Amino acid sequence: MSDAQIDRLDALVPDVAKNKSTVGYLSTGEKLYVYLAANRIDLLETEGYTIAEALVRIGDSWVIELLSRWRYAGNPKNFG
């Protein structure tokens, strides 16, 4: 996982949060990262994952990135 890859995923989060974008072209792990960051539990469920299962699937290094990048960001649905 590179910073550029995570930056690319993070750029998708606001649109996914607002239901303005789909991420069908991403890998399952990438989708799960975006759905978690976007606070879209409904989309996790469509992939067949619970929150805990999604966190395990994306792995420790991505979870650390998710937490450090989105901890204080607020709900991406409210981004301008």
Q: What is the pLDDT of residues 38-63, one digit of tens each?
A: 999 999 999 999 999 999 999 999 99
Q: What is the pLDDT of residues 23-43, one digit of tens each?
A: 989 999 999 999 999 999 999
Whether 37 and 11 have beta carbons less than 8 Å apart is answered as no
> Is pLDDT at 1 greater than 80 in this prediction?
no
pLDDT confidence of 16, banded at 50, 70, 90?
Answer: very high
User: For the chain, how big is the Rg over CA atoms in Å?
Assistant: 11
Report how far residue 18's alpha carbon sits from residue 67's, in angstroms, rounded to the nearest whole number.
Answer: 20
Hey, how many other C-beta atoms are within 10 angstroms of the C-beta on 64? Answer: 10
